[in-house]
Amino acid sequence: MGDPHPKLHATELTRTFGRAPRAVEALGPVGLTIAPGEFVCLVGPSGCGKSTLLRIAAGLLRPSTGRLEIRTTSPRPAAMIFQDYGIYDWKTVRANVRFGLDIQRVPRREANARADTWLARMGLADFAQAYPATLSGGMRQRVAIARALAVEPELLLMDEPFAALDAQLRMILQEELLELTQTTRTTTLFVTHSLEEAIVLGDRVLVMSARPGRIIAEQRPPFPRPRTGDIRSTPEFTTLKSELWALLRKEAVPA
């Protein structure tokens, strides 16, 4: 690739779970390069190691072989958003959003101000003092997004963040995320099951094979930024989607 300074660069990355003789090869080998500011979507069948790759990037898991490099200015460049939100029931919405800042020992006054900015941006300002249990699923996921973005991460890792939401809410949050990332230009690795989601959001869509997951195809959705969800109705969108589906179907059918 042309970029001499990629944000994230993985070579020959594999991950095996368990020990021989019952070892399961979950991932790879995978090579991956992400440029600064790029939004990369990873699609693949269930259990293909998408999340494993993400967890390696997050530093939650070590690779079995290979290496993954992140070019960064801070020791903890990544923030992660989980499928089941991962927000804490025992913290108010504002305290949840402030969590990453509290961990980084940002002074309380500044942390509150930054948390409130993000709450306002996510339309949660009125719920700052509410507990997550009183919120709907979509609002909880907004809290999780605000929590991740409040630390201004250099690398945003999203693990099927909208999988637990209903279809309409999904589309709405996709639009919001699109708007958000187009202004912040945060480097993002986004794992999803949904081809549509990947095409709408991604600068690049990578298709993974069934386990052990390798990257079998790469597509650049031909929609200039800033874009909106309206691209769903274009013929290019439909063509790209069926193209990717043809690839993915072969992998998704159980062997």
Partner 1 sequence: MTTVTKPSAESLLVRRPGPQELHPVRTHRRRRALELALAAAVPLLLVLLWQLAASQAWIDDRVYPAPSTILADGWDRAAAGDLWPDVWATLKRVLAGYAVGTAAGYVLGLLMGSLPLVRAALEPLLDALYVVPKLALLPIFLNMFGLGEGPQVALVAVTVFFFVWISTMSAVITVPLGHRDAGRVFGASPWQMFHHVLLPASLPQVLVGARIAAGVAVLVIVASEQIAATNGLGHLIFDSRALFQNDVMFVGIVCVAALGVLFSELIRLVGRLLTPWAPRDRGRGQS
**Buried b / exposed e across 170-198, counting CB within 10 Å, b at 16+?**
bbebbebbbebbeeeebbbbbbbbbbbbb
- Cα angle 10, 60, 2; round to 5: 20
Verify binding: residue 158, partner 1, rule CB under 8 A. Answer: no
Task: List the one residue from 25, 35, 66, 227 that touches partner 1 (CB under 8 A).
Answer: 66
Task: List the one residue from 22, 73, 129, 168 that touches partner 1 (CB under 8 A).
Answer: 73
- DSSP conformation class of 85: B
Contact flags string 78-117 toward partner 1, x per CB under 8 A: ----------------------------------------
CB neighbours of residue 28 within 10 Å: 26
**The one segment of 68-76, 193-201, 218-226, 247-255 that binds partner 1 by CB under 8 A:** 68-76
The conformational region for residue 98 under phi > 0 = left, psi -120 to 50 = alpha, else beta, is alpha
Verify binding: residue 63, partner 1, rule CB under 8 A. Answer: yes
Report how far apart the first and last C-alpha atoms of the chain are (Å, whole number).
33
**The one segment of 40-48, 73-81, 128-136, 219-227 that binds partner 1 by CB under 8 A:** 73-81
Task: List the one residue from 72, 92, 112, 228 that touches partner 1 (CB under 8 A).
Answer: 72
Instruction: Say if CB 213 and CB 53 are below 8 A apart.
Output: yes
Residues in the site for partner 1, rule: CB under 8 A?
Answer: 5, 16, 19-20, 23, 36-37, 56-57, 59, 62-73, 75, 77, 149, 152-154, 184-187
